[in-house]
Amino acid sequence: MHPDVSPRGRRPKYRQLPHTADLGWRIWGDSLPELFENAAAALVSTLTDRRRLRLSETREISLESVDRESLLVDWLNYLLYLFDVDGFLGRDFRVASLTSRRLRARVRGERFDPARHPERTGVKAATYHQLKIGREEGVWQATVIIDL
């Protein structure tokens, strides 16, 4: 629905998958950190037009989880937590370090303002359903289903 092409214009960062009750995202990245960054971009693009967000505030995020897949779900749900707490939405995501259990990232963006930012769809949570992270021909790929 909102195709977002990588700077090199080769491959999209993410693409929406049809799903009756909810919403699925297929996400790509050249590296695992990039995959996580692109997943965050996909999530924010579900809520609003990411390109309209200013880079006026920063959030430092540090998370721990049981495995890589859970870490991806936790990362996305943490971004939803920040949004609910004070309306913060990220535009620029930098994953500084990533192991299969730990993530540190810096997110820049601003607080959502309905006057300037178009409303798209509310998101309840990122889920473990059909959750997959894999690598094909050197490209990282993930599938995440979002509960709306």
Letter string b/e over residues 23-33, b meaning 16 or more CB atoms within 10 A of that residue's CB: bbbebbbeebb
Amino acid identity for residue 106 in this structure: R
Given the rule CB under 8 A, which of 3-11, 18-26, 37-45, 101-109 is the region that contacts other proteins? 18-26
Rounded to an integer, what distance in angstroms lies between the CA atom of residue 59 and that of residue 8? 27
Task: Please identify which residue in 6, 31, 127, 143 interacts with other proteins, judged by CB under 8 A.
Answer: 127
Distance CA 141, CA 132 (A): 8
CA distances from 16 to 4, 25, 111, 148 (A): 11, 5, 25, 14
Binding string to other proteins for residues 37 to 66, with x set by CB under 8 A, is what?
Answer: ----------xx-----------------x
**119 forms part of the interface with other proteins (CB under 8 A):** yes
Q: Residue holding tokens 């692109």? A: 38
Task: Compute the least distance from the CB of residue 132 to other proteins, in Å.
Answer: 12
The residue count for binding other proteins (CB under 8 A) is 32
Smallest distance from other proteins to CB 145, Å? 8
The residues with which 94 forms a beta bridge, in sequence order, are 106
CB of 3 to other proteins, least distance (A): 13
Residue number with CB closer to other proteins (1 or 137): 1
Q: Which of 101, 19, 78 is nearest to 1 (CA)?
A: 19
Interface residues with other proteins (CB under 8 A) are 1, 16, 18-21, 23, 47-48, 66, 70, 77, 80-81, 83-85, 87, 112, 114, 118-122, 124-125, 127-129, 147-148
